[in-house]
Amino acid sequence: MNIYLVIILTALIGEFALRSMARYLNLKALDPKLPAEFEGFYDGDKYRQSQEYTRAGAKFAYVSSTFDLCLILAFILLGGFNVVDTFVRGLNLVPILTGLIFFAILYFARDIISIPFALYSNFIIEEKFGFNKMTVKTFVLDQIKTYALAIILGVPLLGGVLYFFEKTGTYAWIYAWGLIAFFIVIAPPLFTTLIAPMFNKFTPLAEGELKDAIQRYTGKVKFPITEISVMDGSKRSTHSNAYLSGFGAKKRIALFDTLIEKHSVGELVSVIAHEVGHHKKKHVLKGTVLSVLHSGLLLFLLSRFVDNRALFEAFQMEQTSIYAGIVFFSILYAPIELILSIGLNYMSRKHEYEADTFAAETIAAPEPIISALKNLSVSNLGNLTPHPLTVFLNYSHPPILQRIAALRQFDSA
């Protein structure tokens, strides 16, 4: 049997088994006894509801991941990629356009197939637990906008990568790396100024106690803010969040309207302090640098496999091509991606602790952020007792009780 096919099938089935085991252990770790730290925040019914929400999400993940695995295995073993390739080659276009159409067919077909799962997640599970506020109209418009963005951004990016690998020989991966690095750097301001407003409405935060408190805090820590906005998150969900974006002297704070509704001024300022901590500790810059380095590694390895005939034979391809080689390598690369994601999640959890500490130090008390974390967890029906394997594989943030325990230690110190 083809060695690449063995590696790919082993990786796909192995990752599925690993994540399924993590979900099973996560459900077993659900503790019906409310942790003492949350007494007074969760009542009995609400806490049971949070565990039912975790169970519902896990059961849905079992079904969707099983479907995904069966779909990709069938597509590989039945020669689906060759069928698509034969079709696009029959259009008799130049290689770059042929490749873009190949990518588009795979992307849109996969996304359309996943729509029933997205509908079930939003309109059944999220609706059942009181989170969904999205209408069918909003869902459809979001899909259309997402497809438009995929075309507007994907065509120049993928087209550029295909051009370099088609035309520039040995050092193609370096040119492609430069292009992708450029996209990584401009992505945050592009998201803030163009993409986010396509999906949500942003209005300036009204004058008053909250705005004054935020401005006092950002002035105290010498963090320049050019805009404080309220985002209509309630248009889609009652889940709440906040984010801070921008580089240099132009920083923008966006608060979900659902966040403002559920938290005190002190808690909201502590949430802002946490986000400021990420910037002050250079977490955003470090993340950008790591993304650039990761893309460079990916492209270097791709350059070594992109025309590997044995890899194409694993997918029953009749002809080789740069565009199909990119897709096949991305599947072959999955085990490395899993390992890297675990490392990146570990680093992200470490950064969350650092941002919490920064917030507690600059506010001069950990209680506001502890209170904010508790209320966020309750309003989002967060799982208070995740299994360590689930945290290890999936969590970019530490479990809430561990974050609170670390803040309690800061308080003692």
Length of the chain: 413
Owner of token pair 């590694």: 297
In whole angstroms, give the CA distance from residue 365 to residue 362.
8
Name the catalytic one among 85, 267, 275, 352: 275
Q: Which of 45, 356, 361, 367 is catalytic?
A: 356
Q: Is 127 designated active site?
A: no
The SS3 call for residue 20 is helix
Q: DSSP of 298-350, one letter per residue?
A: HHHHHHHHTT-HHHHHHTT-SS--HHHHHHHHHHHTHHHHHHHHHHHHHHHHH
Contacts of 312 (CB under 8 A, 6+ apart): 319, 320, 324, 325, 328
Q: What share of the chain is helix, strand, coil (3-state, %, to 5)?
A: 75, 5, 20
Other C-beta atoms closer than 10 Å to the C-beta of 47 total 20
| Residue 167 tokens, joined | 């035309």
CA distances from 97 to 27, 72, 181, 183, 317 (A): 47, 25, 23, 21, 19
Q: Clarify whether 275 is annotated catalytic.
A: yes
Nearest one of 97, 84, 78, 40 to 316, comparing CA atoms: 78
How large is the angle between the packed helices 367-379 and 334-363, nearest 10 degrees? 130
- Residue 36 burial by Cβ neighbours in a 10 Å radius (0-12, 13-18, 19+): exposed
Instruction: Single out the residue of 90, 309, 135, 381 nearest to residue 235, CA to CA.
Output: 135
Query: Using an 8 Å Cβ cutoff, are 176 and 165 in contact?
Result: yes
Residue type, 336: I
- Cβ atoms within 10 Å of 349's Cβ, excluding its own: 19
Q: What is the CA radius of gyration of the chain?
A: 23
Active site residues: 275, 356
